Every structure is written in structure tokens, then in C-alpha cells.
Structure 1
Amino acid sequence: MSKFRILNISLISILLFINCQKEEGNVSNSETINTAMALTQRLLPNNYTSFDFKIDSSSTNKDYFELESQDGKIIITGNNGIALSSGLDWYLKTYCQSDISLNSHQISLPTPLPTVEKTRIDTPFDYRYFFNYCTYGYTMPWWDWERWEQMIDYMALKGVNMPLAMIGQEAVWVEVFKELGMTDEQIGSFFVGPAHLPWGWMGNIDGMGGPLPDSWIQKRKELQIKILNRMRSLGMKPVLQAFTGHVPEALKELYPEANIFQIEDWAGVDGTYFLDPTDSLFQTIGTAFIKKQTEIYGTDHLYDADCFIEVNPPSKDPKFLAQVSHNVYESMAKADPEAIWVLQGWFFFFKKDFWTKERGRAFLNGIPKNKVIVLDLYGEKNPTWDKTDAFYGQPWIWNVICNEDQKVNMSGDLTAMQDQFQLAFNSEIKNNLKGIGVIPEGLGYNSIIQDFIFEKTWDQNKVNIEEWISNYATRRYGIENKDAQNAWQILGKTVYNRTRTMWSPLITTPRLMIFEEGSKEDERHVRKDFKITEETPFAWDFDVTEFSKAADLILKASDVLKDKESYNFDVTNIYRELIAGLTHKMINDLSVAYQAKEKEKFEVASTALLKMLDDLDAITGTNENFLLGKWLDDARNWGNNKEEKDYFEWNARTIVTIWQPYPEGGLRDYAGKQWNGLFAGYYKPRWELFISHLRKSLLQNIDFNPKTYDKEVREMDYKWTKSNDKYPAEITGNAVEVAKRLQKEYESYFKE
């Protein structure tokens, strides 16, 4: 038989297998075991043969895994690939003091491997959810298959079986819109830029940052197919998109009889256009989209559709709201009778004045019972299950957000998370609470939060937070180091004892810290309760002086831990947080000196603030997770030519700075990052401009002109997004060495 014919047969077999996955939604036991073993080989290339996996097909209840030592090997039994992977993670964490996180791994297996008596662990949760729409814009827009493979492995190890999978839907919409009679130009003017796509999907914006290159649409389609096949081979049921009613304005011309209306503005942007769900065209489009999406990507019957995520419906009438939800669901069910609507419950909190119990009940009861799963997003601080009679009897999932707009900080209230989880779990697990999840807008800087929450998948018992943190520190570095453990205890009482962090004025448009009454300044720049005193010398939402002790302790462990990847990440993160904690004091010193017209003190304060920016650039340059240059390079890698590469870089620059791609945008600095390159190339020049204006005011004894300054700084910001200056894409220093320098140079600030 010729090689060509063999290759053809192999390709046909692969395609038949993939098609079977799409249509049947399952894989064979042998394929599941092979996938779990391949994951283990990627994770443990030198030890993977020490593990064997078995599938228990007889189990029809909740997911479970079982661990047992046999003949020098660890046998992991489970009812699907996620259970097997979770069993592996549980063994590594519990018996080998290992840590697998989003930003680093610490795996140091003892020889021989620790034995384990037969142990079975079950979960009461049908669903373990992960991701937020915004994650696809703030964290993952430029990920390639290699990075996605790592993420899917991580999710499997942590027990995630219900990930939001939004990539590649533009390819579906292109075909649907063309069938509706739209031209390429009309479609192109509707799609937004790559990093802005989540807000296009959610119906907040049209055309912003577009049009998308055809190459992007095709590449994302190919990537999505690989992602979904891997997810499904492990037993995940990815959540795909459904039609929300958001349509191009051009559709009004093609279907003048359809009830297409413009909704309210969003973040200063003109309202987008929505098709009335009670209009017959809604069913046509919604059904066509699901059918076309299933044809390309297959289905697991889970569809996300958020019609009113941050805007109000056009009518308050409960009957109308019930009709809306009924029609939206019907558009899914006509194409897929097994469809389940996955609905973000954010609007019950964000627009709580509109969503009275009468309206909320009408909306959710317009959907057939058990045909919707509501995501309670902000479970750690603003849960809505307890304000909506547990979503009026429909199934729901308890989640934490933790991170908004991928803030680069250390935050998350572990105690609040546990208390809120226990309250929900003990009240609702016997009713309609069906899952647990993490819905961060951005990822990468607080892996302890994901570990803490996803551990609840398999162990719902209330834990002693201090003991848990000590054990976490040991796993994090693979060594029981007292200095590291004590450092983490302090972190638990400071940065991991806050729910939502304050905006950092250092990385927003420079302003003085004292304002006149009636200021219309953006709230991100205003500190209404801001006051530097002897009792609150840093005026932050955690005790910076106490936090500095954790920074000292973590460095004490450097001789022992300096070669650990996880340790070096933490040194970078902790010292970035520490120096950034001086922000309010530094800006306050500048403000007081200027307003008192003390020129010498003004110069001293200016020098100190600009040095702080240089030092933040230095410490963030010691770890690849904090590099603007890598973000930009990853974006450029999606381009096939210089024009496309420049386009992707422009989009990548815009989303992390001015957000809306024009000088007068209303979301400037919303997604600002504490990254190497941004400190030196973007934030510092703005502060230098601001200081020069203040200096001119002092030296010439003239009033500071805010209009002139605002015009210049906005032009500077916009010009930066259009530039192509290079920034380091690889680390430029040693984390421990830079941290020790900063420790010495700044120690006087933290003496009590």
C-alpha cells in the first residue's frame, strides 16, 4: 500500500473521529486514557510512566477519582478525563508537595513516589466553570496553540469541565451574515478589533478597532477546532455562543420591516443595534447561527447568550421580559433540542434597580425549567442568589470574579470567599446549586485564588485559613521554609484580605491628589476618602508597612529558594506590589509641595516619584509575566505581513492604555497594567509632562492650565498607541538581586 494511500486513510480516520466527537459529544475510554497520559507526559516528562489510568464506565453519578498504589505505580481511576487529571493533581499536591499554577509550576517528585492507600474523592458539583468574556480580551487574545494547550492542561488538573470557549465565532457570523445578504464591507464594519472582541460579543460596541483581517478569522477558526477537540477529549463540555439579538446596523436596510432598535450608550460609545427577540427574524438568525456553529465546531449543547449584560431592556413589562427569554431560548432549541442556556447573572447586580423580583422571575421563568444555568458572578462580595430566591428555581453556579480588567496586583479575600461559599453551599446544594467556578476578567497574578476555589470542587469543608496558607507556601516552593510560610501568613492578612482593590493613580492620567468640590474628574483618579496621616501613611486598602515585612521575609528565603520558578515569580510580584504601595504617598508629597509652592520640596518629590517608576520598570522586567514587549510580540505573531503585524500591535497597545482607539475615549487607563515597558515607555513620560507643567506654574508664578495639559497628554497617549517602539520581550534582570536593591533603597519608608 502506498504512503499516499496510508496517509489518506489516516486522515479520513482522524476526520471521522473528530466528526464523531462533534455529533456524539463523547470519546472512547482508550482515547480518554491516552489523552490523560499525554497530559501527564507533558507535565512530568521524566516520571509519567509511574502513573496508570483507569476509566470506570459504570459510574453514573457525580464525578470522582480514586487513588491507589500498586506495584510501584500510582493508579488513578475516574469516570472521565477531568476526573483522572484531577486525581493526578490531587496526588501531586497532597502527597508530593507540588504546585501547578497559571504562572509557574513547582514539581519536585520524591523517589520513590509516596504510596497511598485506596482513597476515593467525589464532587457534588455537576459543573466547574471557568473564564469570563473579558478574559479573552485582557489576557488571552494573542495566545497560540502551545499556550492554550498549557491552559487546557491546567483546567483539567483543577477539575474544570465547563469552560467558556468563545474563540472563532467570527467565522460563523461571516457565513450567517452572508446568507442574510450582507456584503464583506458591511460585515467588516461590524466586527471589532481582536482584543476588543469580548465587548463586541457582549453587544457593547460595533466596529471599534476593526475591520478584522481575513487571516485572523481563518486562524482563529483553526485554533478553536484544536481547542475544542482537546477539551472534549478530556471530558469537558465547552460553552459556545448563541444569538443575543446584537446585529449590524446595516441589517436595518436589508430587513426594513424588522424591529431593530438602538440601545443606550455604553461607556460613552454610541449604542449598538439589537433585534427584538419577539421579531420572527430573531428566530431565523438565532437558529441559523447555532446550526452553522455546530457544523463547524460541534456542540455540547451549552450556549452563552447575554442580552442585557450592562444595559436595560427596552421595556419593564414582565410579560415582555418573559417573552424575550422564551424567544431567545427557542432560537437555540429549534436548532438544538438539547440546548441549555448559560446566562451570566451579572445584570441582576449591575442593574439591580431595574431587575425587581417580579421582572427577574418573569425573565427566568420564561425559560423552560432546567434549560438554563445562571452564573452568579460576584459570589465573594456581591452575590445575587440570595436576592433572587436562588434565581427563582433555575439551576445556578456560584463563582468568584476576584480580578477585574486583569489588574496586576495581589488581591482576593480568602476569608470572604470561604464564608460566602459556605453560606451558598450549605443553603443550596440540596436545591438548585449545581456548580462552582472562577470568572476573572484577567488571569495570571493571583493563582492562590484559583487554587483555593477549585479545591472546593473536591473538598467543601471549611478550612483554617492560616493552616491552608502555610500548606500552600510549602507546596508553592516544595520546601517547608519558615520564612516563606511567615511571609505568606502576612500576605494572607494584608493583600489577600481585600476583595476589590483601589485604582492606582500612578498608572492613570497624572493628577494631583487634592481636588476642588464638584470635580468632574473620572472616578478612577479621585480618592474621596484619601488622606495621608501618621496613622495611614500610605492610604491604601491594605497595611503597606505590614506587607513590607512579608517582602523582607520572602527575601530571607532566597538562598534556599532562588532557583524555584514559582519563588522568582513571587519575588517579582511582591516587590512590585510593595513599591507600588508608595504611590499615594509619593503623589501626595508632590501635590502638597506644589500647592504650598515649595519649589525645593517639589523637586525632591518629583525625583522620588520618577525614580519609583524606574524601579517598578526594573522589578517587573525580571519575570516574563510582566513584560509589555512579550504582549506586543505575541500580538505581532498573528500577522502574515507587516501591515497585519502593525495592526495587531496597535490593537494590543490600545486595549492596555486608552482602550477606546481615539484621543477622547472614556475608558482610558481602565485596563492599565503594571508591566515592564509601560512604566518606562508610557507612564513615566506622562508624569514627566505633568511635572513640567507644574514646574512651569511654580517658576513663572502662573496658574496650572488643565485644558492645555489634558490636550497634550491625550495626544501623547494616542500617539503612543500608533508607535512601534520596541520593549524587552525577555527578562532584563534577576528578581532577587533587583528586589534586594529595592529593599535597601526603600527600607526607610516602612520603618514603624
Structure 2
Amino acid sequence: MSAGLFVRAAEEDAPTIAPATELFSRVLPAERVDEFVLELIPSPDGKDVYEVESQDGKLVVRGNTGVAIASGLNWYLKEKCNSQVSMNHNQISLPNPLPLVENKVRVETPFEYRYLFNYCTYGYSMPWWDWEKWEEMIDYMAFMGVNMPLAMIGQEAVWQEVYRELGMTDEQLDKFFVGPAHLPWGWMGNIDGLGGPLPQDWISQRAELQKKILARMRSLGMKPVLQAFTGHVPVELKEIYPEAEITQIHDWAGIPGTMFLSPTDPLFTRIGTLFIEKQTEMFGTDHLYDADCFIEVDPPSKDPAYLSEVSKTVYDSMVAADPEAIWVLQGWFFFFRSEFWQPEQGRAFVGGVPKDKIIVLDLYGEKNTTWDKTESFFGQPWIWNVICNQDQKVNMSGHLAKMQTNFQTAYQSEIEKNLRGVGTIPEGVGYNPIVQDFIYELAWNQSEKDLEKWVSDYGKRRYGTEDERAGETWQRLLSSVYGRTRTDWGPLITTPTLQIFGKPKEDIRHVRKNVRITEENPFGQDYDVYELYEASQILLSMADDLQEVETYRFDLTNVHRELIYGLSYLVIDDLTQAYLSGEPARLKAAGDQLLGLLDDLEAVTGSHEMFLLGKWLEDAQSWATTEEEKAYYNWNARTIVSIWQPWKNGGLRDYASKQWNGMFSGYYKPRWELLIQMLEKNLEEGTDFDAGAFNQAVREVDFAWTHAQDEYPSKPTTDPVEEARRIQKKYQKYFLKK
């Protein structure tokens, strides 16, 4: 606790307010903390509240929890100090003296819950995070007002105790637990054993990390959501309990289905109760438990009576161990498996749980809302969320206007009924911080925003400047990349192929879309590339003043990566047309152009730590205690961002593809070189392209890369300003309207 930070609190309130004082001391400039006073106040209705006012030359921040107090400070930093706390960098510039708050500001949130995280976040973004990184994230969460985070780390240690007590051996569990970056899909019951076995050191270290994470979250007033039993069991359990009703569910993404213990079997309640008991012994509880029995797979029966019995038993297994248990349910399956989950099935399933003892998460609020197609989740409490990012796609996207419209519709219709919260459920974090900032502001201010003004103010706060160019940059980003919803699974970083561009197609798994390059749409993108170019020019024009500002350096990298990646469809079309024309010289020129684009993307992404494959691999290997483990973590970290399934002919390859330095040079470019060589040989010999042979050859290359041990830079090797200037000069010709 900082000696300079003044706290007004009774002795019995010290455990509540002390974590907030420590947070202030971590985030604020050390020489300024004595200008702040913290106080604890009660909440009139159980929901969070904060107050901010100036008194005697100091800034007084009050709240009923550490989260509320941090949210009050966040309001002051944004509104009075032109500063920003962000997911990837903080930009805090405190004027001297502190700006006055002339009239006390008091804000109460109407939302009991502010949710964060997706199971997949723990695989695509956070598998290698250490305590230092988690501490930064929890601080950010407090500033945003998050009080209901999904907290999944460390549960393998619990499962070890449960299954050992049920008679299973460690060798059998080795076949059940999946690899570190693939753990979320094991938790969700999609896969067994893939990427395993887990080292025991990993299991032990993660359990200790989870204890620190939960202690910090709780100290700030957060209520973490822990795991509950879903029915997913090891196949060997059938050998120990041959009479148990254990069946294999249908496959997932080409992987054989896992084993499902029917909730109607007495063993289900025994395991579910035992798991929560042992989890509580190890990690404590806040009585919130996530259990998604059928997140992307269907139950074995559509019978409403059966589905009602299933949900009742799942809930009863929680209550047997924790009478205060509340079931947190991801509502994704109502959308993703909508053909199965008709109103009769949904009503029976949700209705099997007592009123107010289940909270349903509506995941896809920015595009495919579910609450309005399920009678508001059949009368149970629910939380409005956005996903925004699938698979931690490295791109700039998030339709802010659509988010605002969909939120307002839900809020105005449901806030007096069963809408209990707001949140974000990104599968990956870090590349579109504006989305999280926008959504969590709704926790405290539900009014409809003038988006052009909001993003303009956001840009100025982000860089700590009053320069109007910062605002104009973000207005142009709003009218380009932040006017689209989808997260691009573009052709440059998926398995190379030539396409006869036709009717666009996109499904909910973001299968790569085909486009037609035309005079009206010269880039084939779903946003205005010319507008993005204008944004990039304005952003770069501020470099002399802002080049040392970390948020600016990140954005300069991100914008210019997005800008030249926007040429992907165009350069592949050029390659396609060159091949179809049968002109070797034209094909070589088009191939050189494409490979040059990959080289430039490699250089641009080398200018910031968040775009480095080498950092991802280094972080993964930091968990190793032996050389053997180091190689294992390296392999697992490579696999999840490339072929996903660790075999040559898997069906999810490139699903989590990353626009990272190291990926462009080491993974994507060799594939395109292989394709171009085969095309050149076809023209030379007058033969047809053999897609099957190429596909098999590229799969060999991909598989070998996941097992390689070569290193990539883990620190930036280029400068974002220099790269941006070079890119602007080289590619200007593409972005000048004809």
C-alpha cells in the first residue's frame, strides 16, 4: 500500500479497500498518488456504485467494492485527464494540478453482473500468461467494472483428485487431459487427449496460479465463475462403472465424439457433487458455476421430458455440494445448434432449473442475438454480450453501430425484466481494445452515444493529445474497419489456393469466403479500404509528436498491418489471372508481388511485441522445467496457431491463424512458394494443376513446421514509424482512387 495514498475507512473495511489502494498505486504515477483519497460507501440496492468529487485539493473516489472504486477512477481519467486504461497499454497523463470535479458525480449501475472471457480465450490468448500478465489483466478488469469473470485455470488438479477417488489411474488421466493451449475444448467436452499428456508440473503450477488469480479477483469484489460437471467423462470410466449410462456423442470438427455420462444416471450426481466439493476445498467458491453440456454437440434425445430431467440433475448436482449454487450457461447452442433447439426443447431444458438459479449468457449480441428468439431465454435471467473476435483473429473489426443498436434494443426491452448484465465473450483479446472499452462503458452509462464523437474522444484519450487528427483517425476507422462485424479468415493466411472468384459465402464458422474483384470493389474487402488508407495517413502524420507513446506505436503497427493485408484478395486474384492466362512472365511477376506482400507483413508485424510469434513461443516454453517439456510446449504452441489438430490431415487447420511476425516468414510464405513453383512447372510443362498433390505436399510442410525447433524474434526488430513510412511510400499506388 502506498504511504502517500490517503484512505478513509473503518478498521473492519480495510480488507475491502486495501486492494483498491494497491491497484491505484500500481497504475497511477508514484509521485501523484498522494493527491487521491479513497473511501468505502454502501450500496443502496446491492448493485455497484461509485462517487467522484474534489475536496481540499484532492480527488476523492468512493465505491462499495474495489471494482466500483476503480471504475470511478477510470471515469475521472477518461473525462477529466484525457487518459486511458486499455487492454494492451495504459496512457495515463495527469495534469498538474488535478482537474476539479466541481459537482459530485455519483453513478449506479443497473447491472448486477459485468461478464468477461470465453472458454476459448484460455486457448487462443491466455494459455501461457504468468502472474505478472494476469495482474495487469485483473487491474484492467477492475477499471472496466468487470465483476463476473470466467476463471477456468487449474481445474485439472481438481479432476485428478476426483477421478483418483473414483478409481482411475494417472495413466488413464493422461489419455483424457488435452494439451495446454487446447484445454478449453477439453473443458467443453469436445475432445479427449489431443495434445496431451499434460506434464504434472503444468497441473501443479496452474493450480497455484489459479489461487493467486482468484484471491486478487475476490479481493476487488469480483465473483469468478468456476467450472461444474457437464457429463464429459474419460472413456475408461466405463470399465470401472460398466453399468453407468455412458454413451459416445457425435463427432466434433472431424474428431471422434467424446463420452457422455447421462445426467439421469446416479453416477452423474456423485461426480458433479464431488467435483464442486474438491474444487471448493482447493479454490473456494462464489457460487457461480459454468456447465455447458451441449455447447456444440446435441443431446442424445430431443424429448422435452428428458431435457428437463437433464438440466434438473445438473443443477441438483451443484446444489448438493453448494446450496447457494447458480448455474451459468452459455446460450451459444441455442444459435449454433438451432435446428435441434426448437422452443419446446429450449423451454424444457431451461425450465428444469428453478427460477433465478440459472443465468444464461447471450454470446453473439453484435450479430446474432438469441434472447429475442428464445422468449428471453424462457423467462430466466440473462446477460447481453458480444463475441467480436473468433479465434483471436488478428484484425481490426467490430461493428460499433450494430453493437449499440442491438444493446439498446435489449436494454430498453428487458432491463425491467430479466436482463441482469452486460459483457464481452471474445475468443481472443488484445487487437481490438476499443470494443471492450465501448461495451464496458455501457455498464455505467447506458445512453445512446454519438459514435463519431465517442470515437473521436477515444482517439484523443488513447494518445493523450488534443490534436484533432487523433479524433479524425478514429472517425475514419469507424467508417471502415469498425463498421464490419465479421472477423476475417482471409486467403493469404489459409491454405494457398487459386480461386475462381464467385458469389460470396460465409458461414458461422467463418469458412473462407470467395469474392469477386471488380472495378466497383477493387479489394474484395467488406469495408472501405480507401477510408482505412486515409486513417493510416492521418495517424502517421502525428508520428513526430506521438512516436514514443505506447498506445500510438501499437495502433500504428495494427493499422498498417491491416492496410496492406487488405490487398490479399487483390494479389491472389492477380496470381490467379496470371496462371489462367498461361503467361509465365506474368505469373512470375504476380508471384513476386504476393511474396513481397508477405515480406512486408513480416516487417510491419515485427515492430510490436504483441505481433510476435517468438514471444508466444517464448512464453509457452517459460512453463517448462526440463528440455523435454520445453520442446513439448513449443510444439503445442505452434500447433494451435497453425494446423490446430496435431495430425497431417486435420480439418481445423488455419482456424486460429495469426497475422504475426514469424508466421509470415516461417509458415505462410513457404506454402505460397510451394504453390507458385508448382504453377510455374505446370505452365512450363503444359500440364494441369494437381490440387490433390499440392494439398498433400503443403500438409507435409505444415506438419513439419509444428515440430520444428527454430527460433523467432521475441522482441521487436523493426520500428513502427519507419515501417509505416516505408509501407505508405511503397503501396500508395494501390490506394489512390482512380
TM-score in terms of structure 2 length: 0.97
Q: Is the 8 A contact 1:398 1:421 kept in 2?
A: yes
C-alpha distance in structure 1 between counterparts of 2:33 and 2:252, whole Å: 51
Is residue 2:242 matched to residue 1:256?
A: yes
C-alpha distance in structure 1 between counterparts of 2:413 and 2:510, whole Å: 37
Residue number in structure 1 paired with 2:612: 627
C-alpha distance in structure 2 between counterparts of 1:223 and 1:525, whole Å: 36
Is residue 2:587 matched to residue 1:607?
A: no
Q: Is the 8 A contact 1:32 1:80 kept in 2?
A: yes
Q: Is the 8 A contact 2:501 2:516 kept in 1?
A: no
C-alpha distance in structure 2 between counterparts of 1:241 and 1:28, whole Å: 32
Q: How does 1:244-283 map to 2 (within 5 A)?
A: 244-283=230-269
Equivalent AA in structure 1 for residue 722 of structure 2:
E
Give the CA deviation at 1:524.
6.3
C-alpha distance in structure 1 between counterparts of 2:596 and 2:153, whole Å: 41
Residue number in structure 2 paired with 1:554: 539
C-alpha distance in structure 2 between counterparts of 1:685 and 1:416, whole Å: 39
Is residue 2:397 matched to residue 1:403?
A: no
Give the CA deviation at 1:502.
3.2
Change in 2 beyond 3 A, CA 1:633/1:658: same
RMSD of the TM alignment (CA)? Answer: 1.5
Q: Please, which of 651, 665, 668 is the counterpart of residue 680 of structure 1? A: 665
Q: Please, which of 318, 341, 344 is the counterpart of residue 358 of structure 1? A: 344
Q: What SS does structure 2 have at the residue aligned with 1:731?
A: coil
Is residue 2:301 matched to residue 1:315?
A: yes
C-alpha distance in structure 2 between counterparts of 1:714 and 1:506, whole Å: 16
Residue number in structure 1 paired with 2:137: 151
Q: Please, which of 8, 19, 26 is the counterpart of residue 35 of structure 1? A: 19
Q: What SS does structure 1 have at the residue aligned with 2:31?
A: coil
Residue number in structure 2 paired with 1:450: 436
Equivalent AA in structure 2 for residue 527 of structure 1:
K
Q: Is the 8 A contact 1:343 1:373 kept in 2?
A: yes
1:18-52 Cα deviation digits (max 9, x unpaired): xxxxxxxxx95212211111111110133222212
Give the CA deviation at 1:96.
0.3
Give the CA deviation at 1:660.
0.3
C-alpha distance in structure 2 between counterparts of 1:58 and 1:660, whole Å: 49
Q: How does 1:428-439 map to 2 (within 5 A)?
A: 428-439=414-425
Q: Please, which of 110, 121, 139 is the counterpart of residue 135 of structure 1? A: 121
C-alpha distance in structure 2 between counterparts of 1:247 and 1:255, whole Å: 12
Residue number in structure 1 paired with 2:627: 642
Residue number in structure 1 paired with 2:86: 101
Give the CA deviation at 1:173.
0.1
Q: Is the 8 A contact 2:39 2:62 kept in 1?
A: yes
C-alpha distance in structure 1 between counterparts of 2:87 and 2:405, whole Å: 25
Q: How does 1:214-253 map to 2 (within 5 A)?
A: 214-253=200-239
Residue number in structure 2 paired with 1:18: none
Equivalent AA in structure 2 for residue 42 of structure 1:
R
Q: What SS does structure 2 have at the residue aligned with 1:622?
A: coil
C-alpha distance in structure 2 between counterparts of 1:61 and 1:273, whole Å: 42
Q: Please, which of 699, 702, 717 is the counterpart of residue 684 of structure 2? A: 699
C-alpha distance in structure 1 between counterparts of 2:462 and 2:144, whole Å: 15
Q: Is the 8 A contact 1:411 1:501 kept in 2?
A: yes
Q: Please, which of 573, 585, 599 is the counterpart of residue 558 of structure 2? A: 573
Q: What SS does structure 2 have at the residue aligned with 1:200?
A: helix
C-alpha distance in structure 2 between counterparts of 1:102 and 1:28, whole Å: 33
Q: Is the 8 A contact 1:37 1:48 kept in 2?
A: no
Q: What SS does structure 1 have at the residue aligned with 2:321?
A: coil
Change in 2 beyond 3 A, CA 1:522/1:309: closer
1:261-317 Cα deviation digits (max 9, x unpaired): 000000000000010000000000000000000000000000000000001111010
C-alpha distance in structure 2 between counterparts of 1:648 and 1:408, whole Å: 22
Q: Is the 8 A contact 2:395 2:488 kept in 1?
A: no
Residue number in structure 1 paired with 2:331: 345
Q: What SS does structure 2 have at the residue aligned with 1:49?
A: helix
Q: What SS does structure 2 have at the residue aligned with 1:589?
A: helix
Q: Is the 8 A contact 1:55 1:78 kept in 2?
A: yes
Change in 2 beyond 3 A, CA 1:698/1:516: farther
Is residue 2:175 matched to residue 1:180?
A: no
C-alpha distance in structure 1 between counterparts of 2:616 and 2:426, whole Å: 19
Q: What SS does structure 2 have at the residue aligned with 1:650?
A: helix
Q: Is the 8 A contact 1:509 1:525 kept in 2?
A: no
Give the CA deviation at 1:78.
0.9
Change in 2 beyond 3 A, CA 1:705/1:515: farther
Equivalent AA in structure 2 for residue 318 of structure 1:
P
Residue number in structure 1 paired with 2:154: 168
Change in 2 beyond 3 A, CA 1:526/1:160: closer
Q: What SS does structure 1 have at the residue aligned with 2:238?
A: helix
C-alpha distance in structure 2 between counterparts of 1:573 and 1:423, whole Å: 32
For structure 2, the residue ranges without an aligned partner over 5 or more in a row are 1-10
Q: How does 1:12-27 map to 2 (within 5 A)?
A: none
Q: What SS does structure 1 have at the residue aligned with 2:168?
A: coil
Range that drifts further, 68-77 or 433-442: 68-77
C-alpha distance in structure 1 between counterparts of 2:548 and 2:488, whole Å: 33
Residue number in structure 1 paired with 2:5: none
Equivalent AA in structure 1 for residue 677 of structure 2:
S
Q: Say how many residue pairs are matched.
A: 723
C-alpha distance in structure 1 between counterparts of 2:99 and 2:414, whole Å: 38
Residue number in structure 2 paired with 1:6: none
Give the CA deviation at 1:202.
0.1
Q: Is the 8 A contact 1:501 1:541 kept in 2?
A: no
Equivalent AA in structure 1 for residue 283 of structure 2:
Y
Q: Is the 8 A contact 2:384 2:421 kept in 1?
A: yes
1:348-403 Cα deviation digits (max 9, x unpaired): 00011111111111111100110000000001111111111111110000000000
Is residue 2:543 matched to residue 1:564?
A: no
Residue number in structure 2 paired with 1:665: 650
Residue number in structure 2 paired with 1:735: 720
Equivalent AA in structure 1 for residue 681 of structure 2:
K
C-alpha distance in structure 2 between counterparts of 1:98 and 1:713, whole Å: 48
Give the CA deviation at 1:701.
1.2
Residue number in structure 1 paired with 2:579: 594
C-alpha distance in structure 1 between counterparts of 2:343 and 2:170, whole Å: 44
Q: Is the 8 A contact 2:393 2:488 kept in 1?
A: no
C-alpha distance in structure 2 between counterparts of 1:229 and 1:296, whole Å: 12
Residue number in structure 1 paired with 2:731: 746
C-alpha distance in structure 1 between counterparts of 2:126 and 2:671, whole Å: 28
Q: Is the 8 A contact 1:513 1:526 kept in 2?
A: no
C-alpha distance in structure 2 between counterparts of 1:383 and 1:591, whole Å: 38
C-alpha distance in structure 1 between counterparts of 2:195 and 2:588, whole Å: 40
Q: Is the 8 A contact 1:505 1:525 kept in 2?
A: no
Give the CA deviation at 1:522.
13
Equivalent AA in structure 2 for residue 507 of structure 1:
I
Equivalent AA in structure 1 for residue 497 of structure 2:
R
Change in 2 beyond 3 A, CA 1:58/1:681: closer
Q: What SS does structure 2 have at the residue aligned with 1:108?
A: coil
C-alpha distance in structure 2 between counterparts of 1:54 and 1:450, whole Å: 27
Equivalent AA in structure 2 for residue 266 of structure 1:
W
Q: What SS does structure 2 have at the residue aligned with 1:166?
A: coil
Q: How does 1:481-496 map to 2 (within 5 A)?
A: 481-496=467-482
Give the CA deviation at 1:61.
3.2
Give the CA deviation at 1:60.
4.1
Residue number in structure 2 paired with 1:654: 639
C-alpha distance in structure 1 between counterparts of 2:601 and 2:679, whole Å: 23
